[in-house]
Chain A
Protein backbone atom coordinates (compact mmCIF):
# COMPACT_ATOMS: atom_id res chain seq x y z
CA UNK A 1 0.00 0.00 0.00
CA UNK A 2 1.22 3.48 -0.83
CA UNK A 3 2.42 5.63 2.04
CA UNK A 4 1.12 9.17 1.63
CA UNK A 5 2.64 12.44 2.67
CA UNK A 6 0.53 15.52 3.32
CA UNK A 7 1.91 18.86 2.09
CA UNK A 8 0.48 22.07 3.48
CA UNK A 9 1.08 25.75 2.90
CA UNK A 10 -0.79 28.41 4.89
CA UNK A 11 -2.02 31.84 3.93
CA UNK A 12 -2.87 33.99 6.91
CA UNK A 13 -4.74 37.26 6.89
CA UNK A 14 -3.73 39.31 9.92
CA UNK A 15 -5.77 42.47 10.44
CA UNK A 16 -3.32 45.19 11.36
CA UNK A 17 -4.27 47.03 14.54
CA UNK A 18 -4.19 50.54 13.11
CA UNK A 19 -6.78 53.03 14.33
CA UNK A 20 -7.80 54.04 10.82
CA UNK A 21 -8.18 52.13 7.56
CA UNK A 22 -5.43 51.38 5.10
CA UNK A 23 -6.57 53.82 2.41
CA UNK A 24 -9.03 56.10 4.25
CA UNK A 25 -9.37 57.93 7.56
CA UNK A 26 -12.43 55.93 8.68
CA UNK A 27 -12.09 54.21 12.07
CA UNK A 28 -11.44 50.46 12.34
CA UNK A 29 -12.96 49.72 15.77
CA UNK A 30 -14.75 46.37 15.89
CA UNK A 31 -18.45 46.12 16.65
CA UNK A 32 -19.65 49.58 15.54
CA UNK A 33 -23.14 50.08 14.10
CA UNK A 34 -23.26 48.64 10.55
CA UNK A 35 -21.86 51.03 7.92
CA UNK A 36 -21.16 53.78 10.46
CA UNK A 37 -17.40 53.41 9.84
CA UNK A 38 -17.55 53.18 6.05
CA UNK A 39 -16.59 56.46 4.42
CA UNK A 40 -16.81 57.54 0.77
CA UNK A 41 -13.48 55.81 -0.03
CA UNK A 42 -14.53 52.55 1.63
CA UNK A 43 -17.85 52.36 -0.19
CA UNK A 44 -16.15 53.36 -3.47
CA UNK A 45 -18.08 56.48 -4.39
CA UNK A 46 -16.93 57.83 -7.76
CA UNK A 47 -14.02 60.25 -7.70
CA UNK A 48 -12.48 59.20 -4.39
CA UNK A 49 -8.78 58.38 -4.11
CA UNK A 50 -6.95 56.08 -1.69
CA UNK A 51 -4.15 57.50 0.51
CA UNK A 52 -1.91 54.96 2.20
CA UNK A 53 -1.76 54.74 6.03
CA UNK A 54 1.79 55.08 7.39
CA UNK A 55 0.85 52.94 10.41
CA UNK A 56 -0.05 49.96 8.19
CA UNK A 57 3.30 50.16 6.38
CA UNK A 58 5.19 50.45 9.65
CA UNK A 59 3.52 47.28 10.95
CA UNK A 60 4.54 45.45 7.79
CA UNK A 61 8.12 46.60 8.41
CA UNK A 62 7.95 45.29 11.99
CA UNK A 63 6.82 41.93 10.67
CA UNK A 64 9.57 41.85 8.05
CA UNK A 65 12.19 42.52 10.72
CA UNK A 66 10.71 39.90 13.06
CA UNK A 67 10.89 37.10 10.46
CA UNK A 68 14.15 38.21 8.85
CA UNK A 69 12.47 38.88 5.53
CA UNK A 70 13.52 41.31 2.83
CA UNK A 71 11.76 44.66 3.18
CA UNK A 72 11.30 46.04 -0.32
CA UNK A 73 12.62 49.55 -0.84
CA UNK A 74 9.95 49.82 -3.50
CA UNK A 75 6.69 47.85 -3.63
CA UNK A 76 3.60 48.20 -5.77
CA UNK A 77 -0.13 48.07 -5.13
CA UNK A 78 -2.23 46.14 -7.63
CA UNK A 79 -5.90 45.67 -8.31
CA UNK A 80 -7.28 42.16 -7.84
CA UNK A 81 -10.48 42.15 -9.85
CA UNK A 82 -13.55 40.16 -8.88
CA UNK A 83 -17.19 40.85 -8.26
CA UNK A 84 -18.75 40.31 -4.89
CA UNK A 85 -21.17 42.64 -3.12
CA UNK A 86 -18.97 43.09 -0.06
CA UNK A 87 -16.20 44.44 -2.33
CA UNK A 88 -17.70 47.74 -3.45
CA UNK A 89 -15.02 48.78 -5.97
CA UNK A 90 -15.17 45.53 -7.94
CA UNK A 91 -11.49 45.03 -7.07
CA UNK A 92 -9.43 44.61 -3.96
CA UNK A 93 -6.32 46.74 -3.59
CA UNK A 94 -3.55 44.26 -2.88
CA UNK A 95 0.08 43.66 -3.85
CA UNK A 96 1.02 41.17 -6.51
CA UNK A 97 4.35 41.25 -8.31
CA UNK A 98 6.18 43.49 -5.85
CA UNK A 99 5.09 42.72 -2.25
CA UNK A 100 6.38 44.76 0.70
CA UNK A 101 8.01 41.72 2.38
CA UNK A 102 9.54 38.68 0.71
CA UNK A 103 11.26 35.67 2.26
CA UNK A 104 11.98 35.23 5.93
CA UNK A 105 11.16 32.27 8.13
CA UNK A 106 9.64 31.24 11.42
CA UNK A 107 11.07 28.64 13.83
CA UNK A 108 8.22 26.55 15.20
CA UNK A 109 8.23 24.03 18.05
CA UNK A 110 6.21 20.91 17.22
CA UNK A 111 6.23 18.82 20.37
CA UNK A 112 9.91 18.20 21.08
CA UNK A 113 11.03 19.00 17.52
CA UNK A 114 11.70 22.38 15.99
CA UNK A 115 10.90 23.04 12.33
CA UNK A 116 11.73 26.05 10.22
CA UNK A 117 8.87 27.28 8.08
CA UNK A 118 9.97 29.42 5.14
CA UNK A 119 7.81 32.38 4.25
CA UNK A 120 7.20 33.20 0.62
CA UNK A 121 5.98 36.73 1.14
CA UNK A 122 3.83 39.09 3.15
CA UNK A 123 1.86 41.78 1.41
CA UNK A 124 -0.43 44.64 2.35
CA UNK A 125 -4.03 44.67 1.19
CA UNK A 126 -7.47 45.86 2.20
CA UNK A 127 -10.14 43.72 3.85
CA UNK A 128 -13.59 43.34 2.27
CA UNK A 129 -16.92 44.13 3.96
CA UNK A 130 -19.25 41.52 5.40
CA UNK A 131 -22.23 39.83 3.76
CA UNK A 132 -24.98 38.92 6.18
CA UNK A 133 -26.88 36.00 4.73
CA UNK A 134 -29.82 35.85 7.08
CA UNK A 135 -32.95 36.50 5.16
CA UNK A 136 -33.77 40.10 4.33
CA UNK A 137 -36.83 39.28 2.17
CA UNK A 138 -34.70 37.05 -0.04
CA UNK A 139 -31.80 39.54 -0.10
CA UNK A 140 -28.41 39.73 1.59
CA UNK A 141 -27.39 42.60 3.86
CA UNK A 142 -24.01 44.29 3.38
CA UNK A 143 -22.00 45.94 6.16
CA UNK A 144 -18.96 47.80 4.83
CA UNK A 145 -17.39 48.72 8.19
CA UNK A 146 -14.67 46.12 7.65
CA UNK A 147 -14.03 47.21 4.05
CA UNK A 148 -10.62 48.87 3.92
CA UNK A 149 -9.30 47.45 7.21
CA UNK A 150 -5.58 46.85 6.64
CA UNK A 151 -4.48 43.24 6.24
CA UNK A 152 -1.08 41.67 6.07
CA UNK A 153 -1.38 38.45 4.08
CA UNK A 154 1.41 36.11 5.16
CA UNK A 155 2.13 33.21 2.82
CA UNK A 156 4.31 30.18 3.62
CA UNK A 157 6.16 27.84 1.32
CA UNK A 158 4.61 24.34 1.25
CA UNK A 159 6.84 23.34 4.19
CA UNK A 160 4.30 21.83 6.55
CA UNK A 161 3.80 18.05 6.61
CA UNK A 162 0.90 17.45 8.97
CA UNK A 163 -2.13 19.13 10.51
CA UNK A 164 -0.15 19.29 13.79
CA UNK A 165 2.70 21.17 12.11
CA UNK A 166 0.24 23.54 10.44
CA UNK A 167 -1.44 24.31 13.76
CA UNK A 168 1.92 24.75 15.52
CA UNK A 169 2.97 27.24 12.83
CA UNK A 170 -0.33 29.12 13.00
CA UNK A 171 -0.04 29.36 16.79
CA UNK A 172 3.56 30.59 16.56
CA UNK A 173 2.59 33.20 13.97
CA UNK A 174 -0.40 34.22 16.09
CA UNK A 175 1.89 34.69 19.10
CA UNK A 176 4.41 36.65 17.01
CA UNK A 177 1.98 39.19 15.51
CA UNK A 178 0.67 39.91 18.99
CA UNK A 179 4.19 40.03 20.42
CA UNK A 180 5.28 42.70 17.95
CA UNK A 181 1.91 44.41 18.42
CA UNK A 182 0.74 44.55 14.83
CA UNK A 183 -2.49 42.52 15.21
CA UNK A 184 -4.76 41.84 18.19
CA UNK A 185 -5.07 38.18 17.14
CA UNK A 186 -8.76 37.98 18.03
CA UNK A 187 -9.91 34.98 16.00
CA UNK A 188 -13.59 35.24 16.97
CA UNK A 189 -13.67 38.75 15.55
CA UNK A 190 -11.80 37.61 12.44
CA UNK A 191 -8.59 39.52 13.16
CA UNK A 192 -6.48 36.45 12.31
CA UNK A 193 -7.78 34.14 9.57
CA UNK A 194 -6.08 31.19 7.93
CA UNK A 195 -6.56 29.40 4.63
CA UNK A 196 -4.73 26.11 4.06
CA UNK A 197 -3.45 24.75 0.76
CA UNK A 198 -3.46 20.98 1.13
CA UNK A 199 -2.17 18.29 -1.20
CA UNK A 200 -0.96 14.73 -0.81
CA UNK A 201 1.77 12.77 -2.60
CA UNK A 202 3.36 9.36 -2.32
CA UNK A 203 6.01 9.48 0.43
CA UNK A 204 9.42 10.16 -1.06
CA UNK A 205 8.03 11.89 -4.13
CA UNK A 206 9.51 15.31 -4.88
CA UNK A 207 6.67 16.57 -7.08
CA UNK A 208 3.72 18.30 -5.45
CA UNK A 209 0.22 16.87 -5.85
CA UNK A 210 -2.75 18.96 -6.99
CA UNK A 211 -3.83 21.15 -4.09
CA UNK A 212 -7.13 22.30 -2.68
CA UNK A 213 -7.51 25.49 -0.71
CA UNK A 214 -9.57 25.26 2.47
CA UNK A 215 -11.11 28.51 3.62
CA UNK A 216 -12.85 29.53 6.80
CA UNK A 217 -10.46 28.09 9.36
CA UNK A 218 -11.31 30.41 12.22
CA UNK A 219 -9.92 28.33 15.07
CA UNK A 220 -6.84 26.18 15.59
CA UNK A 221 -9.02 23.17 16.40
CA UNK A 222 -11.01 23.51 13.17
CA UNK A 223 -7.78 23.94 11.23
CA UNK A 224 -6.44 20.64 12.51
CA UNK A 225 -9.68 18.79 11.82
CA UNK A 226 -10.21 20.34 8.39
CA UNK A 227 -6.69 19.49 7.20
CA UNK A 228 -6.98 15.95 8.50
CA UNK A 229 -10.31 15.48 6.77
CA UNK A 230 -9.06 16.99 3.51
CA UNK A 231 -5.90 14.86 3.41
CA UNK A 232 -7.97 11.70 4.05
CA UNK A 233 -10.42 12.71 1.33
CA UNK A 234 -7.67 13.26 -1.22
CA UNK A 235 -5.97 9.96 -0.37
CA UNK A 236 -9.27 8.11 -0.80
CA UNK A 237 -9.88 9.75 -4.19
CA UNK A 238 -6.37 8.83 -5.39
CA UNK A 239 -6.50 5.28 -4.04
CA UNK A 240 -9.77 4.79 -5.87
CA UNK A 241 -7.98 5.76 -9.07
CA UNK A 242 -9.48 9.25 -9.24
CA UNK A 243 -7.75 12.60 -9.57
CA UNK A 244 -7.84 15.74 -7.44
CA UNK A 245 -9.47 18.80 -8.94
CA UNK A 246 -7.88 22.08 -7.90
CA UNK A 247 -10.62 23.98 -6.10
CA UNK A 248 -11.54 26.08 -3.11
CA UNK A 249 -13.26 24.18 -0.35
CA UNK A 250 -15.08 25.32 2.74
CA UNK A 251 -14.76 23.61 6.11
CA UNK A 252 -18.09 22.81 7.75
CA UNK A 253 -17.40 22.42 11.47
CA UNK A 254 -20.82 20.95 12.21
CA UNK A 255 -20.43 18.10 9.73
CA UNK A 256 -16.62 17.97 10.14
CA UNK A 257 -16.02 17.90 6.41
CA UNK A 258 -14.82 20.11 3.57
CA UNK A 259 -16.89 20.73 0.47
CA UNK A 260 -16.36 22.64 -2.78
CA UNK A 261 -17.02 26.35 -2.47
CA UNK A 262 -16.89 28.04 -5.85
CA UNK A 263 -18.05 26.15 -8.86
CA UNK A 264 -16.94 28.72 -11.43
CA UNK A 265 -13.18 28.52 -11.78
CA UNK A 266 -13.22 31.73 -13.79
CA UNK A 267 -13.81 33.52 -10.52
CA UNK A 268 -10.06 32.97 -9.99
CA UNK A 269 -9.04 34.97 -13.04
CA UNK A 270 -8.24 38.12 -11.09
CA UNK A 271 -6.54 40.11 -13.89
CA UNK A 272 -4.10 41.86 -11.54
CA UNK A 273 -2.62 45.13 -12.72
CA UNK A 274 -0.82 48.01 -10.95
CA UNK A 275 -3.36 50.34 -9.35
CA UNK A 276 -3.10 53.69 -11.16
CA UNK A 277 -4.58 55.41 -8.07
CA UNK A 278 -1.54 54.56 -5.97
CA UNK A 279 2.11 55.37 -6.51
CA UNK A 280 4.81 52.85 -5.65
CA UNK A 281 5.51 52.59 -1.92
CA UNK A 282 9.05 53.65 -1.01
CA UNK A 283 10.58 52.48 2.28
CA UNK A 284 13.91 54.09 3.17
CA UNK A 285 16.79 52.46 5.04
CA UNK A 286 16.41 55.16 7.69
CA UNK A 287 12.79 54.20 8.28
CA UNK A 288 13.67 50.51 8.59
CA UNK A 289 16.50 51.32 11.02
CA UNK A 290 14.25 53.50 13.17
CA UNK A 291 11.67 50.68 13.39
CA UNK A 292 14.43 48.17 14.13
CA UNK A 293 15.48 50.34 17.07
CA UNK A 294 11.93 50.22 18.45
CA UNK A 295 11.48 46.45 18.12
CA UNK A 296 10.99 44.46 21.34
CA UNK A 297 13.19 41.47 22.12
CA UNK A 298 11.64 38.66 20.05
CA UNK A 299 10.24 35.48 21.62
CA UNK A 300 12.96 33.23 20.14
CA UNK A 301 15.76 35.40 21.54
CA UNK A 302 13.99 35.70 24.87
CA UNK A 303 13.50 31.92 25.15
CA UNK A 304 17.19 31.46 24.62
CA UNK A 305 18.05 34.13 27.20
CA UNK A 306 15.70 32.61 29.81
CA UNK A 307 17.37 29.24 29.32
CA UNK A 308 20.78 30.83 29.76
CA UNK A 309 20.09 33.43 32.44
CA UNK A 310 17.63 31.52 34.64
CA UNK A 311 18.45 27.91 33.66
CA UNK A 312 14.84 27.48 32.52
CA UNK A 313 13.96 24.17 30.87
CA UNK A 314 12.97 24.50 27.18
CA UNK A 315 9.27 23.85 27.89
CA UNK A 316 9.38 26.34 30.77
CA UNK A 317 11.04 29.01 28.64
CA UNK A 318 8.41 28.41 25.96
CA UNK A 319 5.56 28.78 28.46
CA UNK A 320 7.06 31.99 29.89
CA UNK A 321 7.38 33.52 26.41
CA UNK A 322 3.93 32.42 25.18
CA UNK A 323 2.95 36.09 25.23
CA UNK A 324 4.90 39.26 25.83
CA UNK A 325 2.73 39.97 28.88
CA UNK A 326 3.66 36.62 30.45
CA UNK A 327 7.36 37.28 29.85
CA UNK A 328 7.02 40.78 31.27
CA UNK A 329 5.22 39.41 34.35
CA UNK A 330 7.94 36.81 34.88
CA UNK A 331 10.80 39.28 34.62
CA UNK A 332 9.02 41.75 36.90
CA UNK A 333 8.52 39.03 39.52
CA UNK A 334 12.13 37.78 39.32
CA UNK A 335 13.35 41.38 39.53
CA UNK A 336 11.21 42.03 42.60
CA UNK A 337 12.46 38.88 44.38
CA UNK A 338 15.95 40.21 43.74
CA UNK A 339 17.48 36.75 43.60
CA UNK A 340 17.98 35.08 40.19
CA UNK A 341 18.10 31.72 41.97
CA UNK A 342 14.40 32.17 42.78
CA UNK A 343 13.58 32.40 39.06
CA UNK A 344 12.61 28.74 38.81
CA UNK A 345 10.19 29.10 41.72
CA UNK A 346 8.65 32.19 40.05
CA UNK A 347 8.42 30.26 36.78
CA UNK A 348 6.67 27.34 38.49
CA UNK A 349 4.12 29.63 40.09
CA UNK A 350 3.45 31.53 36.87
CA UNK A 351 3.15 28.41 34.70
CA UNK A 352 1.30 26.52 37.44
CA UNK A 353 -1.02 28.14 39.95
CA UNK A 354 -1.29 31.53 38.24
CA UNK A 355 -1.89 30.11 34.75
CA UNK A 356 -4.51 27.69 36.10
CA UNK A 357 -6.39 30.44 37.95
CA UNK A 358 -6.25 32.81 34.96
CA UNK A 359 -7.50 30.05 32.72
CA UNK A 360 -10.33 29.12 35.08
CA UNK A 361 -11.50 32.71 35.38
CA UNK A 362 -10.80 33.46 31.71
CA UNK A 363 -8.46 36.36 32.46
CA UNK A 364 -5.37 37.65 30.65
CA UNK A 365 -2.22 37.81 32.70
CA UNK A 366 -2.33 41.61 32.43
CA UNK A 367 -5.55 41.51 34.46
CA UNK A 368 -4.25 39.09 37.11
CA UNK A 369 -5.38 40.16 40.59
CA UNK A 370 -1.97 39.07 41.95
CA UNK A 371 0.74 41.48 40.80
CA UNK A 372 4.31 40.35 39.98
CA UNK A 373 5.44 42.19 43.12
CA UNK A 374 2.93 40.31 45.26
CA UNK A 375 4.02 37.01 43.76
CA UNK A 376 7.63 37.98 44.44
CA UNK A 377 6.77 38.59 48.11
CA UNK A 378 5.26 35.12 48.26
CA UNK A 379 8.25 33.50 46.58
CA UNK A 380 10.63 35.22 49.03
CA UNK A 381 8.80 33.65 51.97
CA UNK A 382 8.90 30.22 50.35
CA UNK A 383 12.61 30.61 49.67
CA UNK A 384 13.46 31.61 53.25
CA UNK A 385 11.36 28.82 54.73
CA UNK A 386 8.76 31.08 56.39
CA UNK A 387 5.96 29.16 54.70
CA UNK A 388 5.67 25.77 53.02
CA UNK A 389 4.56 25.31 49.40
CA UNK A 390 1.19 24.15 50.63
CA UNK A 391 0.60 27.17 52.84
CA UNK A 392 1.85 29.32 49.98
CA UNK A 393 -1.21 28.26 47.97
CA UNK A 394 -3.41 29.54 50.78
CA UNK A 395 -1.52 32.85 50.77
CA UNK A 396 -1.81 33.01 47.00
CA UNK A 397 -5.58 32.53 47.27
CA UNK A 398 -5.80 35.33 49.81
CA UNK A 399 -3.79 37.65 47.52
CA UNK A 400 -5.93 36.65 44.56
CA UNK A 401 -9.11 37.46 46.48
CA UNK A 402 -7.72 40.78 47.65
CA UNK A 403 -7.78 39.74 51.33
CA UNK A 404 -4.25 41.00 51.95
CA UNK A 405 -1.99 43.61 50.40
CA UNK A 406 1.07 41.37 50.39
CA UNK A 407 2.26 37.92 51.45
CA UNK A 408 3.81 39.10 54.73
CA UNK A 409 0.62 40.80 55.88
CA UNK A 410 -1.34 37.67 55.03
CA UNK A 411 1.07 35.35 56.86
CA UNK A 412 0.93 37.53 59.97
CA UNK A 413 -2.83 38.05 59.91
CA UNK A 414 -3.61 34.37 59.48
CA UNK A 415 -0.76 33.05 61.62
CA UNK A 416 0.58 30.93 58.76
CA UNK A 417 4.23 31.12 59.66
CA UNK A 418 5.80 27.70 59.21
CA UNK A 419 6.69 25.86 62.40
CA UNK A 420 10.37 25.01 62.25
CA UNK A 421 10.82 24.62 65.97
CA UNK A 422 11.82 20.96 66.39
CA UNK A 423 10.33 20.78 69.87
CA UNK A 424 6.90 21.78 68.58
CA UNK A 425 7.14 19.51 65.57
CA UNK A 426 8.35 16.68 67.77
CA UNK A 427 5.16 16.92 69.82
CA UNK A 428 3.04 16.61 66.65
CA UNK A 429 5.15 13.66 65.52
CA UNK A 430 4.78 11.83 68.81
CA UNK A 431 1.06 12.41 68.75
CA UNK A 432 0.73 10.88 65.30
CA UNK A 433 3.01 7.92 66.05
CA UNK A 434 0.84 7.09 69.03
CA UNK A 435 -2.37 7.46 67.06
CA UNK A 436 -1.43 5.45 63.97
CA UNK A 437 0.35 2.21 64.94
CA UNK A 438 -0.64 0.58 61.66
CA UNK A 439 1.32 3.01 59.49
CA UNK A 440 4.20 2.84 61.93
CA UNK A 441 4.28 -0.95 61.62
CA UNK A 442 4.09 -0.77 57.82
CA UNK A 443 6.96 1.69 57.68
CA UNK A 444 9.04 -0.47 59.97
CA UNK A 445 8.27 -3.40 57.66
CA UNK A 446 9.99 -1.42 54.89
CA UNK A 447 7.09 0.27 53.10
CA UNK A 448 8.24 3.80 52.26
CA UNK A 449 4.71 4.85 51.30
CA UNK A 450 3.67 4.57 54.94
CA UNK A 451 6.03 7.45 55.74
CA UNK A 452 4.13 9.73 53.36
CA UNK A 453 0.91 8.88 55.16
CA UNK A 454 2.50 9.74 58.49
CA UNK A 455 3.95 13.02 57.19
CA UNK A 456 0.50 13.86 55.87
CA UNK A 457 -1.07 13.24 59.26
CA UNK A 458 1.52 15.35 61.05
CA UNK A 459 0.95 18.17 58.57
CA UNK A 460 -2.77 17.93 59.21
CA UNK A 461 -2.34 17.96 62.97
CA UNK A 462 -0.08 21.04 62.66
CA UNK A 463 -2.66 22.84 60.55
CA UNK A 464 -0.32 22.58 57.56
CA UNK A 465 2.24 24.78 59.28
CA UNK A 466 4.96 22.28 60.14
CA UNK A 467 8.02 22.30 57.90
CA UNK A 468 7.45 19.06 55.94
CA UNK A 469 11.14 18.31 55.53
CA UNK A 470 11.67 18.54 59.28
CA UNK A 471 8.60 16.38 59.85
CA UNK A 472 10.00 13.63 57.62
CA UNK A 473 13.41 13.85 59.26
CA UNK A 474 11.99 13.63 62.77
CA UNK A 475 9.72 10.73 61.84
CA UNK A 476 12.63 8.79 60.40
CA UNK A 477 14.73 9.50 63.46
CA UNK A 478 11.97 8.47 65.88
CA UNK A 479 11.00 5.33 63.97
CA UNK A 480 14.56 4.21 63.34
CA UNK A 481 14.97 3.68 67.07
Chain B
Protein backbone atom coordinates (compact mmCIF):
# COMPACT_ATOMS: atom_id res chain seq x y z
CA UNK B 1 0.00 0.00 0.00
CA UNK B 2 1.90 3.06 -1.19
CA UNK B 3 2.14 6.13 1.01
CA UNK B 4 0.29 9.23 -0.13
CA UNK B 5 1.87 12.67 -0.22
CA UNK B 6 -0.38 13.64 2.73
CA UNK B 7 0.92 10.75 4.82
CA UNK B 8 4.50 11.78 4.09
CA UNK B 9 3.67 15.33 5.21
CA UNK B 10 2.08 14.02 8.39
CA UNK B 11 5.06 11.80 9.27
CA UNK B 12 7.38 14.77 8.70
CA UNK B 13 5.19 16.91 10.92
CA UNK B 14 5.15 14.30 13.70
CA UNK B 15 8.95 14.08 13.53
CA UNK B 16 9.25 17.90 13.44
CA UNK B 17 11.16 17.74 10.17
CA UNK B 18 10.55 20.55 7.74
CA UNK B 19 10.48 19.29 4.14
CA UNK B 20 10.11 21.24 0.93
CA UNK B 21 7.56 20.07 -1.67
CA UNK B 22 10.34 18.78 -3.93
CA UNK B 23 11.90 16.83 -1.04
CA UNK B 24 8.50 15.42 -0.18
CA UNK B 25 8.30 13.88 -3.62
CA UNK B 26 11.76 12.31 -3.32
CA UNK B 27 11.00 11.04 0.19
CA UNK B 28 7.67 9.60 -0.91
CA UNK B 29 9.49 7.58 -3.57
CA UNK B 30 12.19 6.40 -1.15
CA UNK B 31 9.75 5.47 1.57
CA UNK B 32 7.59 3.57 -0.88
CA UNK B 33 10.62 1.59 -2.09
CA UNK B 34 11.23 0.60 1.56
CA UNK B 35 7.58 -0.41 1.93
CA UNK B 36 7.82 -2.52 -1.20
CA UNK B 37 10.79 -4.31 0.35
CA UNK B 38 8.79 -4.87 3.55
CA UNK B 39 5.91 -6.30 1.48
CA UNK B 40 8.32 -8.73 -0.20
CA UNK B 41 9.67 -9.86 3.17
CA UNK B 42 6.15 -10.32 4.51
CA UNK B 43 5.53 -12.85 1.77
CA UNK B 44 8.14 -15.13 3.34
CA UNK B 45 6.72 -17.66 5.83
CA UNK B 46 8.45 -16.72 9.11
CA UNK B 47 5.84 -18.19 11.43
CA UNK B 48 8.43 -20.54 12.93
CA UNK B 49 10.57 -17.64 14.18
CA UNK B 50 10.21 -15.46 17.27
CA UNK B 51 10.64 -11.83 16.21
CA UNK B 52 13.78 -10.23 17.63
CA UNK B 53 13.61 -6.87 19.38
CA UNK B 54 17.27 -6.22 18.81
CA UNK B 55 19.88 -7.21 16.24
CA UNK B 56 21.99 -8.78 19.01
CA UNK B 57 20.61 -11.98 20.49
CA UNK B 58 21.69 -11.18 24.06
CA UNK B 59 19.88 -9.67 27.01
CA UNK B 60 20.18 -6.40 28.87
CA UNK B 61 23.00 -6.10 31.43
CA UNK B 62 21.78 -4.52 34.66
CA UNK B 63 23.27 -1.83 36.85
CA UNK B 64 23.19 -1.93 40.66
CA UNK B 65 20.86 0.68 42.19
CA UNK B 66 23.43 3.14 43.54
CA UNK B 67 23.64 6.87 42.79
CA UNK B 68 27.07 7.65 41.31
CA UNK B 69 26.69 10.81 39.29
CA UNK B 70 28.30 14.08 40.35
CA UNK B 71 26.29 17.30 40.07
CA UNK B 72 27.40 18.84 36.77
CA UNK B 73 24.56 21.32 36.51
CA UNK B 74 26.74 24.37 35.86
CA UNK B 75 28.47 22.67 32.90
CA UNK B 76 25.20 21.42 31.43
CA UNK B 77 23.33 24.69 31.90
CA UNK B 78 26.19 26.46 30.09
CA UNK B 79 25.29 24.47 26.95
CA UNK B 80 21.75 25.85 26.83
CA UNK B 81 20.77 29.03 24.98
CA UNK B 82 18.91 30.44 27.96
CA UNK B 83 18.74 29.57 31.67
CA UNK B 84 17.54 31.13 34.88
CA UNK B 85 17.44 30.06 38.53
CA UNK B 86 18.97 26.71 37.61
CA UNK B 87 16.25 26.04 35.01
CA UNK B 88 16.46 25.60 31.26
CA UNK B 89 14.21 28.21 29.60
CA UNK B 90 12.15 27.17 26.59
CA UNK B 91 9.40 28.80 24.53
CA UNK B 92 6.22 28.94 26.60
CA UNK B 93 4.34 25.64 26.76
CA UNK B 94 0.77 25.80 27.91
CA UNK B 95 -1.66 22.94 28.33
Binding site for A on B (CB under 8 A): 10, 13-16, 53-56, 58-69, 71-73, 76-77, 82, 84-95
Contact = CB atoms under 8 A, between A and B. Distances in A.
B14 A138 contact: no
Contact of B64 (A35, A54, A137, A282): A54
Nearest to B67: A27
Given A37-B71, A276-B54, A52 B91 contact: no
12 contacts: A20-B65, A25-B68, A27-B67, A27-B69, A85-B93, A138-B92, A139-B91, A142-B89, A274-B54, A279-B53, A279-B56, A279-B60
A143 interface: yes
B95 A139 contact: no
B6 to A, nearest CB: 12
Contact of A141 (B53, B62, B76, B89): B89
A282 B76 CA distance: 34
Given A131-B93, A280-B54, A36 B71 contact: yes
Contacts of B92: 133, 138-140
Contacts of B53: 76, 98, 274, 279-280
Nearest to B84: A136
Given A98-B53, A141-B87, A35 B60 contact: no
Interface stretch (A181-189, A218-226, A261-269, A388-396): A261-269
Given A274-B53, A281-B60, 11 more contacts: A20-B65, A40-B72, A54-B64, A56-B65, A81-B15, A132-B87, A140-B89, A142-B87, A142-B89, A279-B60, A281-B59
Given A26-B67, A139-B82, A74 B94 contact: no
Interface in A44-64: 45, 51-57
A168 interface: no
Contacts of A131: 93
Nearest to B65: A55
Nearest to A57: B62
Given A35-B88, A139-B91, A141-B88, A52 B71 contact: no
Interface of A: 18-20, 24-28, 33-40, 43, 45, 51-57, 74, 76, 81, 83-85, 90, 98, 131-133, 136-144, 250, 261-262, 266, 269, 271, 274, 276, 278-282
Contact of A280 (B13, B59, B90): B59
Nearest to A29: B67
Most chain B CB within a 10 A radius of its CB, from A36, A90, A250? A36
A266 B14 contact: yes
B94 to A, nearest CB: 7
B51 to A, nearest CB: 9
A269 B16 CA distance: 13
Contacts of A38: 73, 76
A282 B60 contact: yes
A272 B47 CA distance: 23
B60 to A, nearest CB: 4
A142 B61 contact: no
A25 B60 contact: no
Contacts of A27: 67, 69
Contacts of B54: 274, 276, 278-280
